Amino acid sequence: MKKKLTPKEKNHYRTLETREIIPEFICNARGKEEYEDILTESVFKVMFKDGTEPAFSHPLHNNKEEGIYYCAACGQPLFGSEAKFDSGTGWPSFFAPLAPECVDFEEDYFLIMPRTAVMCSCCNGHLGHVFDDGPAPTFFRFCMNGTALNFKK
């Protein structure tokens, strides 16, 4: 069961920590059926069928290069490498998105207890979850599936 967060609930996860230079992007979202045709089965399963990848299985969880992480479905810029940190969880983790408008949130009851799911604000693809146990300056941990991200130096 999923429930969209209220604007007040969403604001809890919005941060002022953003990059000064964000790549240009025009949202050209497609329908779920189109994404199924163009994405690999594993990417589609994670992003549009509420799947997840096993911890420590994706190379981006260990990536230490400087660059930008993009949505694997629509290409929207999402996270900068300066916000990435090693959370020890086995998934790429960030303390803030590039800009508050890059991501959206909904409550997720998949594991009985509610969690806050993070979606790409352009294509609505599932990226991962956000938790309140991250490092300063935001104290958030955006725990993302590497499968849902593409990285460019």
Confirm whether 123 is a catalytic residue: no
* Among 107, 124, 125, CA closest to 116: 107
Phi, psi of 143 (to 5 degrees): -95, 105
Closest CA to 46 of 56, 36, 37: 36
Distance CA 96, CA 79 (A): 7
Q: Which amino acid is at 15?
A: T
Beta strand segments in the chain, E:
2-4, 68-71, 77-80, 84-85, 93-94, 103-108, 115-120, 126-131, 141-144, 149-152
Q: How far is Cα of residue 145 from the mean position of the Cα atoms in its chain?
A: 7
**Active-site annotation, residues:** 143
